[in-house]
Amino acid sequence: MKEIDVERVRAETRGCRDLIHFNNAGASLMPAPVADYLCNFLREEEMKGGYETRSLRNKDIESFYKSVSLLLNAKPKEIAFVENATRAWDMVFYALPLGPGDKILTTVSEYGSNLIAYLHRAKQTGAELVIVPNDKNGQIDINALEQNIDKKTKLISISHIPTGGGLINPAHDVGRIANKYSIPFLLDACQSVGQIHLDVKAIGCDFLSATGRKYLRGPRGTGFLYVQEDWIERLEPPLLDQFAAELIDAGTYEIRTDAKRFENWERYFAGQAALGKAVDYAMELGLKTIERRVSDLAAYLRAELQETGLVTLTDQGAKKCGLVTFEHLRLNAEQVKTQLSNHKINVSTSSGSGMKLSYLERGLDGLVRASVHYYNTEDEINKFIEVLRSL
Protein backbone atom coordinates (compact mmCIF):
# COMPACT_ATOMS: atom_id res chain seq x y z
CA MET A 1 0.00 0.00 0.00
CA LYS A 2 1.38 3.40 -0.98
CA GLU A 3 2.26 6.03 1.61
CA ILE A 4 0.88 9.56 1.74
CA ASP A 5 3.36 12.27 0.84
CA VAL A 6 2.77 14.24 4.03
CA GLU A 7 5.01 17.14 2.99
CA ARG A 8 3.05 17.54 -0.22
CA VAL A 9 -0.42 17.42 1.34
CA ARG A 10 0.66 19.85 4.06
CA ALA A 11 2.07 22.20 1.43
CA GLU A 12 -1.35 22.01 -0.25
CA THR A 13 -3.10 22.71 3.07
CA ARG A 14 -2.38 26.38 3.63
CA GLY A 15 -3.98 26.48 7.08
CA CYS A 16 -1.27 24.15 8.39
CA ARG A 17 1.20 27.04 8.28
CA ASP A 18 -0.54 28.96 11.06
CA LEU A 19 -2.34 26.47 13.29
CA ILE A 20 -2.83 22.88 14.39
CA HIS A 21 -6.24 21.78 13.16
CA PHE A 22 -7.69 18.91 15.19
CA ASN A 23 -11.30 19.69 14.30
CA ASN A 24 -11.59 17.62 11.14
CA ALA A 25 -14.76 15.93 12.39
CA GLY A 26 -16.30 19.41 12.43
CA ALA A 27 -14.89 20.70 9.16
CA SER A 28 -11.52 19.87 7.64
CA LEU A 29 -9.20 22.38 6.04
CA MET A 30 -9.76 22.34 2.29
CA PRO A 31 -6.78 21.45 0.09
CA ALA A 32 -5.52 24.41 -1.93
CA PRO A 33 -6.58 22.88 -5.30
CA VAL A 34 -10.15 22.50 -4.02
CA ALA A 35 -10.30 25.92 -2.33
CA ASP A 36 -8.82 27.62 -5.40
CA TYR A 37 -11.27 25.85 -7.70
CA LEU A 38 -14.18 26.96 -5.52
CA CYS A 39 -12.97 30.56 -5.41
CA ASN A 40 -12.46 30.64 -9.17
CA PHE A 41 -15.95 29.25 -9.76
CA LEU A 42 -17.47 31.94 -7.53
CA ARG A 43 -15.34 34.64 -9.18
CA GLU A 44 -16.62 33.50 -12.56
CA GLU A 45 -20.19 33.73 -11.26
CA GLU A 46 -19.42 37.29 -10.15
CA MET A 47 -17.99 38.27 -13.52
CA LYS A 48 -20.16 36.26 -15.94
CA GLY A 49 -23.36 35.48 -14.08
CA GLY A 50 -24.54 32.44 -12.17
CA TYR A 51 -26.60 30.79 -14.92
CA GLU A 52 -23.89 31.39 -17.50
CA THR A 53 -21.18 29.96 -15.27
CA ARG A 54 -23.31 26.91 -14.54
CA SER A 55 -23.50 26.26 -18.30
CA LEU A 56 -19.79 26.84 -18.83
CA ARG A 57 -18.86 24.48 -16.01
CA ASN A 58 -21.53 21.86 -16.64
CA LYS A 59 -18.93 19.13 -17.25
CA ASP A 60 -17.42 19.63 -13.78
CA ILE A 61 -20.84 19.70 -12.15
CA GLU A 62 -21.85 16.45 -13.82
CA SER A 63 -18.47 14.87 -13.02
CA PHE A 64 -19.45 15.04 -9.36
CA TYR A 65 -21.78 12.05 -9.82
CA LYS A 66 -19.10 9.88 -11.36
CA SER A 67 -16.55 10.85 -8.69
CA VAL A 68 -18.86 10.00 -5.79
CA SER A 69 -19.98 6.76 -7.44
CA LEU A 70 -16.33 5.66 -7.73
CA LEU A 71 -15.76 6.63 -4.09
CA LEU A 72 -18.63 4.39 -2.92
CA ASN A 73 -18.50 1.64 -5.59
CA ALA A 74 -21.92 2.74 -6.79
CA LYS A 75 -23.46 3.92 -10.08
CA PRO A 76 -23.73 7.62 -11.02
CA LYS A 77 -27.53 7.30 -11.30
CA GLU A 78 -27.59 6.22 -7.61
CA ILE A 79 -26.06 9.53 -6.42
CA ALA A 80 -27.80 12.80 -5.55
CA PHE A 81 -26.23 16.10 -4.53
CA VAL A 82 -27.85 17.49 -1.37
CA GLU A 83 -26.87 20.56 0.63
CA ASN A 84 -25.87 18.64 3.75
CA ALA A 85 -25.82 15.15 5.24
CA THR A 86 -28.84 15.68 7.49
CA ARG A 87 -31.05 16.81 4.63
CA ALA A 88 -29.78 13.93 2.46
CA TRP A 89 -30.67 11.51 5.26
CA ASP A 90 -34.08 13.18 5.71
CA MET A 91 -34.95 12.88 2.04
CA VAL A 92 -34.74 9.10 2.20
CA PHE A 93 -36.03 8.58 5.72
CA TYR A 94 -39.17 10.64 5.19
CA ALA A 95 -39.80 8.84 1.89
CA LEU A 96 -39.89 5.38 3.48
CA PRO A 97 -43.43 4.12 4.15
CA LEU A 98 -44.18 3.58 7.84
CA GLY A 99 -47.41 2.71 9.62
CA PRO A 100 -48.76 1.86 13.07
CA GLY A 101 -46.58 -0.70 14.85
CA ASP A 102 -43.80 -0.62 12.26
CA LYS A 103 -40.39 -0.84 13.94
CA ILE A 104 -37.29 1.29 13.36
CA LEU A 105 -34.13 -0.23 14.83
CA THR A 106 -31.22 2.04 15.75
CA THR A 107 -28.31 2.33 18.18
CA VAL A 108 -27.59 3.86 21.58
CA SER A 109 -24.94 6.03 19.89
CA GLU A 110 -27.29 7.37 17.20
CA TYR A 111 -27.00 10.99 16.08
CA GLY A 112 -29.38 13.37 17.86
CA SER A 113 -30.97 14.82 14.70
CA ASN A 114 -31.76 11.31 13.47
CA LEU A 115 -33.36 10.39 16.80
CA ILE A 116 -35.57 13.48 16.60
CA ALA A 117 -36.65 12.42 13.11
CA TYR A 118 -37.46 8.88 14.31
CA LEU A 119 -39.59 10.26 17.14
CA HIS A 120 -41.22 12.76 14.79
CA ARG A 121 -42.35 10.06 12.38
CA ALA A 122 -43.33 7.72 15.20
CA LYS A 123 -45.65 10.49 16.42
CA GLN A 124 -47.00 11.01 12.89
CA THR A 125 -47.46 7.37 11.89
CA GLY A 126 -47.67 5.26 15.04
CA ALA A 127 -44.37 3.57 14.22
CA GLU A 128 -42.15 2.34 17.07
CA LEU A 129 -38.53 3.27 17.74
CA VAL A 130 -36.40 0.46 19.18
CA ILE A 131 -32.95 1.23 20.62
CA VAL A 132 -30.72 -1.82 20.17
CA PRO A 133 -28.34 -2.18 23.15
CA ASN A 134 -24.56 -2.00 22.89
CA ASP A 135 -22.17 -4.91 23.18
CA LYS A 136 -19.28 -4.95 25.66
CA ASN A 137 -17.26 -2.65 23.37
CA GLY A 138 -19.92 0.06 23.25
CA GLN A 139 -20.96 -0.55 19.66
CA ILE A 140 -24.26 -1.95 18.40
CA ASP A 141 -24.78 -5.53 19.60
CA ILE A 142 -25.27 -7.59 16.45
CA ASN A 143 -26.94 -10.49 18.29
CA ALA A 144 -29.38 -8.10 19.97
CA LEU A 145 -30.08 -6.49 16.60
CA GLU A 146 -31.09 -9.82 15.10
CA GLN A 147 -33.19 -10.72 18.15
CA ASN A 148 -35.20 -7.51 17.77
CA ILE A 149 -36.16 -8.22 14.17
CA ASP A 150 -39.69 -9.37 13.42
CA LYS A 151 -42.27 -8.97 10.67
CA LYS A 152 -42.98 -5.39 11.72
CA THR A 153 -39.34 -4.28 11.34
CA LYS A 154 -39.29 -1.83 8.43
CA LEU A 155 -35.92 -0.11 8.81
CA ILE A 156 -32.46 -0.51 10.33
CA SER A 157 -30.74 2.86 10.57
CA ILE A 158 -27.41 3.63 12.26
CA SER A 159 -24.63 6.18 12.39
CA HIS A 160 -21.48 4.52 11.08
CA ILE A 161 -19.15 6.71 13.18
CA PRO A 162 -21.03 8.54 15.95
CA THR A 163 -20.23 12.23 16.31
CA GLY A 164 -19.24 12.20 19.99
CA GLY A 165 -16.76 9.36 20.22
CA GLY A 166 -14.14 7.29 18.46
CA LEU A 167 -16.00 4.06 17.75
CA ILE A 168 -16.77 2.62 14.33
CA ASN A 169 -20.05 0.73 14.34
CA PRO A 170 -19.82 -2.64 12.51
CA ALA A 171 -21.72 -1.57 9.40
CA HIS A 172 -20.81 -4.70 7.42
CA ASP A 173 -22.32 -6.94 10.12
CA VAL A 174 -25.43 -4.77 10.25
CA GLY A 175 -25.70 -4.98 6.47
CA ARG A 176 -25.43 -8.76 6.59
CA ILE A 177 -28.31 -8.95 9.07
CA ALA A 178 -30.42 -6.45 7.13
CA ASN A 179 -29.96 -8.37 3.89
CA LYS A 180 -30.67 -11.71 5.59
CA TYR A 181 -34.13 -10.45 6.55
CA SER A 182 -34.67 -8.15 3.52
CA ILE A 183 -34.93 -5.04 5.69
CA PRO A 184 -33.86 -1.67 4.24
CA PHE A 185 -30.64 -0.35 5.78
CA LEU A 186 -29.90 3.38 6.05
CA LEU A 187 -26.30 4.29 6.91
CA ASP A 188 -25.36 7.74 8.16
CA ALA A 189 -21.76 8.04 6.91
CA CYS A 190 -21.33 11.71 7.83
CA GLN A 191 -18.13 11.08 9.82
CA SER A 192 -16.86 8.00 7.98
CA VAL A 193 -16.86 9.14 4.35
CA GLY A 194 -13.37 10.36 3.45
CA GLN A 195 -11.92 8.88 6.63
CA ILE A 196 -12.30 5.16 5.92
CA HIS A 197 -12.78 3.06 2.83
CA LEU A 198 -16.47 2.65 1.98
CA ASP A 199 -18.01 0.17 -0.45
CA VAL A 200 -21.80 0.23 -0.44
CA LYS A 201 -22.01 -3.17 -2.09
CA ALA A 202 -19.72 -4.79 0.48
CA ILE A 203 -21.50 -3.03 3.37
CA GLY A 204 -24.92 -3.96 2.03
CA CYS A 205 -26.61 -0.64 2.78
CA ASP A 206 -29.54 0.48 0.66
CA PHE A 207 -29.08 4.17 1.45
CA LEU A 208 -26.12 6.27 2.57
CA SER A 209 -25.95 9.94 3.51
CA ALA A 210 -22.75 11.99 3.77
CA THR A 211 -21.33 15.48 4.02
CA GLY A 212 -18.58 17.23 2.09
CA ARG A 213 -17.07 19.44 4.78
CA LYS A 214 -15.63 16.84 7.14
CA TYR A 215 -13.14 14.14 6.14
CA LEU A 216 -13.64 14.65 2.41
CA ARG A 217 -12.22 18.17 2.85
CA GLY A 218 -14.84 19.77 0.62
CA PRO A 219 -16.81 23.01 1.06
CA ARG A 220 -19.46 23.59 3.69
CA GLY A 221 -23.02 23.44 2.41
CA THR A 222 -22.39 20.26 0.42
CA GLY A 223 -23.40 16.64 0.85
CA PHE A 224 -24.74 13.68 -1.04
CA LEU A 225 -27.10 10.75 -0.92
CA TYR A 226 -26.72 7.22 -2.25
CA VAL A 227 -29.88 5.28 -3.07
CA GLN A 228 -29.49 1.72 -4.31
CA GLU A 229 -30.84 1.42 -7.84
CA ASP A 230 -33.70 -0.96 -7.01
CA TRP A 231 -35.03 1.47 -4.41
CA ILE A 232 -35.02 4.70 -6.45
CA GLU A 233 -38.42 4.36 -8.12
CA ARG A 234 -39.94 2.74 -5.02
CA LEU A 235 -39.50 5.95 -3.02
CA GLU A 236 -41.40 9.17 -3.61
CA PRO A 237 -39.41 12.05 -2.07
CA PRO A 238 -41.16 14.13 0.59
CA LEU A 239 -40.40 17.27 -1.45
CA LEU A 240 -40.54 17.71 -5.22
CA ASP A 241 -39.81 20.54 -7.62
CA GLN A 242 -39.59 20.82 -11.39
CA PHE A 243 -36.09 19.39 -11.42
CA ALA A 244 -37.02 16.29 -9.41
CA ALA A 245 -40.18 15.87 -11.47
CA GLU A 246 -41.65 17.07 -14.78
CA LEU A 247 -45.08 18.66 -15.03
CA ILE A 248 -46.94 16.93 -17.87
CA ASP A 249 -50.28 18.74 -17.73
CA ALA A 250 -52.64 20.35 -15.24
CA GLY A 251 -53.13 17.08 -13.37
CA THR A 252 -50.03 14.99 -14.04
CA TYR A 253 -46.34 14.93 -13.19
CA GLU A 254 -43.59 12.36 -13.65
CA ILE A 255 -40.75 11.90 -11.18
CA ARG A 256 -37.21 11.31 -12.42
CA THR A 257 -36.00 7.72 -12.57
CA ASP A 258 -32.56 8.38 -11.06
CA ALA A 259 -31.45 9.52 -7.60
CA LYS A 260 -31.66 13.14 -8.78
CA ARG A 261 -35.34 12.89 -7.84
CA PHE A 262 -34.04 13.76 -4.34
CA GLU A 263 -32.40 16.99 -5.53
CA ASN A 264 -33.57 20.60 -5.95
CA TRP A 265 -33.27 22.69 -9.10
CA GLU A 266 -31.54 25.54 -7.26
CA ARG A 267 -28.40 24.55 -5.39
CA TYR A 268 -24.81 25.43 -4.54
CA PHE A 269 -23.35 24.59 -7.96
CA ALA A 270 -19.87 25.85 -7.08
CA GLY A 271 -19.91 23.66 -3.99
CA GLN A 272 -21.10 20.62 -5.93
CA ALA A 273 -18.32 20.91 -8.49
CA ALA A 274 -15.71 21.63 -5.79
CA LEU A 275 -16.88 18.62 -3.76
CA GLY A 276 -16.27 16.49 -6.84
CA LYS A 277 -12.72 17.85 -6.91
CA ALA A 278 -12.30 17.04 -3.21
CA VAL A 279 -13.47 13.47 -3.81
CA ASP A 280 -10.98 13.14 -6.67
CA TYR A 281 -8.22 14.45 -4.37
CA ALA A 282 -9.04 11.82 -1.75
CA MET A 283 -9.28 9.07 -4.35
CA GLU A 284 -5.84 9.97 -5.68
CA LEU A 285 -4.38 9.46 -2.21
CA GLY A 286 -6.36 6.26 -1.69
CA LEU A 287 -9.03 5.76 0.96
CA LYS A 288 -7.39 2.68 2.46
CA THR A 289 -4.15 4.63 2.77
CA ILE A 290 -6.00 7.55 4.37
CA GLU A 291 -7.78 5.19 6.76
CA ARG A 292 -4.52 3.63 7.93
CA ARG A 293 -2.79 6.96 8.51
CA VAL A 294 -5.75 8.49 10.36
CA SER A 295 -6.05 5.39 12.54
CA ASP A 296 -2.32 5.42 13.36
CA LEU A 297 -2.33 9.12 14.25
CA ALA A 298 -5.41 8.72 16.46
CA ALA A 299 -3.86 5.74 18.25
CA TYR A 300 -0.71 7.78 18.89
CA LEU A 301 -2.81 10.68 20.21
CA ARG A 302 -4.74 8.39 22.58
CA ALA A 303 -1.53 6.86 23.91
CA GLU A 304 0.05 10.28 24.51
CA LEU A 305 -3.10 11.60 26.19
CA GLN A 306 -3.15 8.59 28.48
CA GLU A 307 0.45 9.27 29.48
CA THR A 308 -0.36 12.78 30.71
CA GLY A 309 -2.49 11.58 33.61
CA LEU A 310 -4.57 14.71 33.07
CA VAL A 311 -7.49 13.24 31.12
CA THR A 312 -9.92 10.36 30.97
CA LEU A 313 -10.36 8.92 27.50
CA THR A 314 -13.99 8.22 26.62
CA ASP A 315 -13.84 6.50 23.21
CA GLN A 316 -15.65 3.20 22.78
CA GLY A 317 -15.54 0.53 20.09
CA ALA A 318 -13.52 -2.54 19.17
CA LYS A 319 -12.21 -0.54 16.23
CA LYS A 320 -11.57 3.16 16.64
CA CYS A 321 -11.30 6.06 14.19
CA GLY A 322 -9.80 9.55 14.01
CA LEU A 323 -12.20 11.09 16.57
CA VAL A 324 -10.58 11.18 20.01
CA THR A 325 -12.73 12.28 22.96
CA PHE A 326 -11.72 12.90 26.55
CA GLU A 327 -12.55 14.62 29.84
CA HIS A 328 -9.95 16.85 31.45
CA LEU A 329 -9.65 16.15 35.17
CA ARG A 330 -9.54 19.82 36.20
CA LEU A 331 -11.01 21.92 33.38
CA ASN A 332 -14.32 21.67 31.58
CA ALA A 333 -14.43 21.07 27.84
CA GLU A 334 -15.10 24.68 26.86
CA GLN A 335 -12.19 25.90 28.99
CA VAL A 336 -9.86 23.40 27.32
CA LYS A 337 -11.08 24.39 23.86
CA THR A 338 -10.64 28.12 24.57
CA GLN A 339 -7.17 27.77 26.05
CA LEU A 340 -5.99 25.53 23.21
CA SER A 341 -7.36 28.06 20.73
CA ASN A 342 -5.14 30.69 22.36
CA HIS A 343 -2.22 28.51 21.29
CA LYS A 344 -3.60 28.20 17.75
CA ILE A 345 -4.81 24.63 18.25
CA ASN A 346 -8.32 23.86 17.02
CA VAL A 347 -10.46 21.24 18.78
CA SER A 348 -14.19 21.01 19.32
CA THR A 349 -16.41 20.10 22.22
CA SER A 350 -19.17 17.52 22.34
CA SER A 351 -21.96 18.55 24.68
CA GLY A 352 -23.87 15.33 24.27
CA SER A 353 -26.60 16.63 21.99
CA GLY A 354 -25.19 14.60 19.11
CA MET A 355 -25.03 11.38 21.18
CA LYS A 356 -27.60 12.09 23.87
CA LEU A 357 -28.59 8.53 24.71
CA SER A 358 -25.00 7.30 24.92
CA TYR A 359 -23.88 10.21 27.08
CA LEU A 360 -26.85 9.82 29.44
CA GLU A 361 -26.18 6.11 29.75
CA ARG A 362 -22.51 6.72 30.59
CA GLY A 363 -23.03 9.77 32.79
CA LEU A 364 -21.07 12.05 30.45
CA ASP A 365 -21.61 15.73 29.77
CA GLY A 366 -19.13 17.93 27.92
CA LEU A 367 -16.15 16.26 26.25
CA VAL A 368 -13.19 17.58 24.29
CA ARG A 369 -13.07 16.12 20.78
CA ALA A 370 -9.75 16.18 18.94
CA SER A 371 -10.14 14.75 15.43
CA VAL A 372 -7.06 14.13 13.30
CA HIS A 373 -6.64 13.77 9.55
CA TYR A 374 -3.89 12.52 7.27
CA TYR A 375 -2.28 15.96 6.92
CA ASN A 376 -1.72 16.13 10.68
CA THR A 377 1.58 14.89 12.13
CA GLU A 378 3.06 13.34 15.25
CA ASP A 379 4.94 16.60 15.81
CA GLU A 380 1.60 18.42 15.99
CA ILE A 381 0.33 15.84 18.46
CA ASN A 382 3.46 16.32 20.59
CA LYS A 383 2.89 20.09 20.56
CA PHE A 384 -0.75 19.51 21.48
CA ILE A 385 0.26 17.36 24.47
CA GLU A 386 2.86 19.92 25.56
CA VAL A 387 0.27 22.69 25.56
CA LEU A 388 -2.33 20.49 27.26
CA ARG A 389 0.11 19.83 30.11
CA SER A 390 0.57 23.58 30.57
CA LEU A 391 -3.11 24.51 30.85
Residue boundaries of the structural domains of the chain:
6-29+286-390, 34-284
The pLDDT assigned to 351 comes to 82
Residues 6+ apart with CB under 8 A from 51: none
Give CA angle at 200 (158, 259), nearest 5°.
90
CA distance 91 to 85: 10
End-to-end CA distance of the chain: 40
Q: What is the DSSP pairing of strand 79-82 with strand 223-227?
A: antiparallel
Q: What is the pLDDT of residue 353?
A: 79
Name residues whose C-beta falls within 8 Å of residue 264's C-beta, 6 or more positions apart in sequence.
239, 241, 243, 244
Amino acid at the residue 250: A
Contact yes or no for 177/146 (Cβ under 8 A)? yes
In contact, 231 and 254? CB cutoff 8 Å: no
Averaged in consecutive runs of 10 residues, what is the pLDDT profile of the chain (391 residues)? Answer: 93 97 98 98 98 97 98 98 97 98 98 97 98 97 98 98 96 98 98 98 98 98 98 97 96 97 97 98 98 98 98 97 97 98 97 88 94 98 98 95
**What is the full DSSP assignment across 135-174?**
-TTSSB-HHHHHHT--TTEEEEEEESS-TTSSB---HHHH
CATH class of the structural domain 6-29+286-390: alpha beta
pLDDT at 229: 98
The pLDDT score that the predictor gives to residue 111 is: 96
Do 301 and 370 touch, CB atoms closer than 8 A?
yes
Predicted local confidence at residue 352, as pLDDT = 77
pLDDT at 172: 98
pLDDT of residue 2: 83
What CATH number labels 34-284? 3.40.640.10
Query: 174-178 contacts: CB < 8 A, separation 24 or more?
Result: 174/140, 174/142, 174/145, 175/203, 175/204, 175/205, 176/204, 177/142, 177/145, 177/146, 177/149, 178/204, 178/205, 178/206
Give the Cα separation of 348 and 302 in Å (integer).
16
Q: What does the alpha-carbon distance between residue 11 and residue 339 come to, in Å, rounded to a whole number?
A: 27
Per the CB < 8 A criterion, the answer to whether 158 and 89 are in contact is no
Q: DSSP E strands: which ranges in the chain?
A: 20-21, 79-82, 103-107, 128-132, 153-159, 185-188, 207-211, 223-227, 245-249, 252-255, 311-313, 323-328, 345-346, 348-350, 367-371
The model's pTM: 0.97
